[in-house]
Structure 1
Amino acid sequence: MFYVISLICACTCISILDARFRRITNMSVLGLMALQCSLLIKSEIYLESALLVLTVGFVLFWRRWIAAGDIKLASVLALALPLSQLPMAATLMGLAGGLVSLFYLMLNHWFPNRKKRQVGIPYGVAISLGFCLVIVVHQVPLLLKA
C-alpha cells in the first residue's frame, strides 16, 4: 500500500509542477524511477513496456507532438505495467488529456483577460492520471496477496 500512496504523491507533485511551469524535470523523473524500482512488488518491473513507450514517444517527439519530459514520465510509469495493460493506460491518458484540454479552453473562455503564463497543455497531468489509475488497479491484487 505504501507503493500506491507514494506513487500517487509523486505523480501529484510532478503534475502540479507541470501545470505551473510546463516542465517535467529530469530530477523528478529520476526520483519517480527510483521509487518504481525500489517499491514495486515482487520485482515486477516491465522493461519491455517502458522501452515500447519510450520508442513510440521518440517518434512523437520527433514529430513535435509531445515533449521529452512527457515521454520520460510515461516510460517510467510504464515500468509498473505489463504490455497487456498499456492500451488501457493509453486510452485513459487520452481521455484525461481531453479533459485537461477542455478545462484550459473553458478557463481561457471564462477569463479571457487573465495573464497567461505558458502556452500549451500540461500533458504530464493526463499521463499521471491515466497511468496511475491502471497501475493502482494492476497493483492492488498483488498487494492483497502479499
Structure 2
Amino acid sequence: MTPIIDTPALMIAYIVILILAAIQDLKSLRISNLLSVALLLVSGTAVVLSLPPGQWWQHLASFIVVLGIGILLFSRGWMGGGDVKLLAASSAAYGIFNILWLLTAVAIFGGVVALLLLLLRAAVPQVWVQVTGFKGLQKGSLIPYGLAIAAGAIASTLIADREAEPVSVLDQDPFAMGSESEAER
C-alpha cells in the first residue's frame, strides 16, 4: 500500500495541503482549485523523483481513473467538484495497483466524519456556527467530504509500509501460473 511520497519535504507539503483543503471545506463547503493543483504537483514531483519513467503511467492511470469516476459522481450530484479534484490529486501519489488503500481509508473516514458532524451539529449552538462561519457545521448543510479525503490520504500515507516495494505490473510475470515451475512438478 505504498504511496510514492518518500521525501520528507514532499510529505510535509502533501499533508499541509490536505489539512488546508479540509479546513477550507469545513469553513466554506468549497475547495480551491489551487490546493488541488498544488497537491497534484506534489504528487507528480514525488513520482518523477522516485520512479523510473516506465512506471509513471501507473500514477497517471490512478489519477485519470479516480478523476473519471469522480466526474461521474459529480454529474449525479453525489460528490462535490472540489472533492473530486482533491481526491484525484491525492490519488496520483498511488499507483493504479495501490489505489484501493487510499479509497478504502477515505471511505472509512467518510463514515467517521459524517457521524462526527451529525453529533457536532446537534451539540454546537447554531449561533456559534453563524458567528464563526463554519458552513460545514450548519444543520442541514452538505457533508464537507474534503475532511474525509484529507484524513484518509494522510492516514494511508503515514501508515504505509515504507519497506514494501510499490506494486508494478512490469515486475510481474503474466504467464506464471503459481509458485511452482514446470520443472518442480
The TM-score with structure 1 as length reference comes to 0.85
Counterpart of 2:155 in structure 1 is 133
Counterpart of 2:109 in structure 1 is 96
In terms of mean alpha carbon deviation, does 112-121 or 24-33 score higher? 112-121
Counterpart residue identity of residue 38, structure 1: T
Q: Distance in 2 between matches of 1:72 and 1:141?
A: 29
The alpha carbon displacement at 1:76 in A equals 0.7
Bigger-Rg structure (1/2): 2
Q: Does 1:86 align with 2:99?
A: yes
Aligned residue-pair number: 142
Output aligned runs, 1:1-146, within 5 Å.
1-40=8-47, 41-43=49-51, 45=56, 46-114=59-127, 115=129, 117-118=134-135, 119-138=141-160, 140-141=162-163
* Cα root mean square deviation, aligned: 2.0
Q: Distance in 2 between matches of 1:68 and 1:139?
A: 31
The alpha carbon displacement at 1:71 in A equals 0.6
Counterpart residue identity of residue 103, structure 1: L
Structure 2 CA distance for partners of 1:113 and 1:15, relative to 1, 3 Å: closer
Q: Retained in 1: the 8 A contact 2:46–2:93?
A: no
Superposition misfits of 4+ residues, deviation over 4 angstroms: none
Counterpart of 1:121 in 2: which secondary structure?
A: coil
Counterpart residue identity of residue 143, structure 2: I
Q: Distance in 2 between matches of 1:39 and 1:88?
A: 18
The alpha carbon displacement at 1:139 in A equals 7.5
Structure 2 CA distance for partners of 1:66 and 1:134, relative to 1, 3 Å: same
Counterpart residue identity of residue 39, structure 1: A
Instruction: Write 1 or 2 for the structure with the bigger share of helix.
Output: 1
Q: Distance in 1 between matches of 2:126 and 2:89?
A: 38
Structure 2 CA distance for partners of 1:140 and 1:6, relative to 1, 3 Å: farther
In terms of mean alpha carbon deviation, does 64-73 or 122-131 score higher? 122-131
CA deviations 1:110-143 (Å, max 9, x no partner) are 235444553111101111121232234448348x
The TM-score with structure 2 as length reference comes to 0.69
CA deviations 1:85-123 (Å, max 9, x no partner) are 222211111111111111111112223544455311110
Counterpart residue identity of residue 73, structure 1: L
